[in-house]
Structure 1
Amino acid sequence: MAAVRPDTIWDTIERTLAGVLGLLAMALGLVQVLGRYFFPAYAISWGEEVIVYLVVWGVMIISSQLVRTDGHVRPDLVLRLVPPGGQRWLEAFNCIVALIFCAGMIWYGWQIVDTSMLLDERSSSGLQFPMWIYYSALPAGGVLMGVRYLIRLFRYLFVFDPKTMTVGHHIADHELPANLSDLANR
């Protein structure tokens, strides 16, 4: 039996969690619309608020997957004009800049969460949702993306392979080696 790789588990958890949050948001939206038009006595007043919370958390969680698949903003046009060696260093630079951005997201996001907890900030709806939970999506997304950028930076600095790490080429999960020593031996 093949060993399950930790990054595959991580990917599955992120995608599943983001999917569940999106599904919950969609179901809540459906309940809210049906309640508003067909059962006004049972309509919920806090539906839009919770939908926003679910979607924001889903987006912040799935942003890590965009790092893994090269889906975030990066200078693709410039990268395609330079040879693989230059691409390596441009990608490493991009990872460093992105890590600085992620550090800012984590730091300032935590400041917002901390302030919200100190003030016991709650939503203005009847739900009175603790806003620090909602604001926590920012540092959580920063951590998830930051770890992915650290992994990318490590790969570009220490296990760079110009055949598989070129711009626009996505390595399928079944093509990846089981460990880093296999990657270095390619």
Structure 2
Amino acid sequence: MKKVFRIIDRTLAFVEEWSLFLAVMVALCTAMANVLLRKFTADINLYWSDEVVRKVIYFTTYIGCVAAVRSRALIRIDAIPQLFPVTKRFLTLVSHLVVLVFCGLMIHLGGQMTWLIYQDEYARTTSLQMPEWILYAVLPLMGVMMFVRTLLVMVEDWRGERF
């Protein structure tokens, strides 16, 4: 069982880290190329670079939530467990359950939004003319990844050991 959890954890970590790295590198390179072209030439401008940077920020925000669950860096109120240590286990469980509900909403509503945008053949990004549903698909994907990651963290908390 521990081996299966470790494989799932490493697979999710690989997907999170490399997708975030590649997305940020794409945004950085396009923004840098656009700045350099604007400074050194008068005629050449990458009109689509701003849109790429906006879409990467959107992507990294949602996939970064999954990474935040892994590193236990989600925002939560921790004053009560510090004042009353006996409540820490219960409040951590409540926090995890709220995250699971959020994940369920992201899967359900994000999936519905993705499906609606997929059915609209004219829903394309402004500059890149790429189908919008690809960007909306990040929502249910993030929901599933975050759900699995939260379950892993809950098992770790329950057992008292890290995978």
**By how many angstroms is 1:153 displaced?**
2.5
Q: 1:43 aligns with which of 28, 42, 45?
A: 45
Please give the root-mean-square deviation of Cα atoms over the aligned residues, in Å: 2.2
Task: Give the AA of the match of 2:61.
Answer: V
Matches within 5 A, 1:7-156: 7-84=9-86, 86-120=87-121, 121-125=123-127, 127-156=128-157
The alignment partner of 1:42 has SS state of coil
- How far apart are the structure 1 equivalents of 2:151 and 2:89? 14
Aligned partner of 1:46: which letter? Answer: W
User: Hey, which of these two has a bigger chunk of helix by percent?
Assistant: 2
Write the distance in 2 (CA, Å) between the matches of 1:146 and 1:98.
8
**Off by >3 Å, runs of 4+ in structure 1:** none
CA shift for structure 1 position 26: 0.6
Task: Return the alpha-carbon distance in structure 2 between the equivalents of residues 18 and 122 of structure 1.
Answer: 23
Deviation per CA, 1:73-107, whole angstroms, max 9, x where unpaired?
111112222225x2111111111111111111111
* In structure 2, distance between residues paired with 1:89 and 1:98: 14
Deviation at 1:122, TM superposition (A): 0.7
Q: How many pairs are equivalent?
A: 158
8 Å contact 2:30–2:49 — kept in the other structure? yes
Q: Report the alpha carbon displacement of residue 8 of structure 1 after superposing the two structures with TM.
A: 3.0
> Structure 2 length normalisation: TM-score?
0.85
Identity %: 28
Superimposed CA distance per residue, residues 122-167 of structure 1 (whole angstroms, 9 cap, x where no aligned partner): 1222x212111111122222221111112222334x42x3xx7xxx
Aligned-partner Cα distance in 2 for 1:136–1:57 = 10
Distance of 2:133 and 2:81 partners within structure 1 = 39
**Rg larger in 1 or in 2?**
1
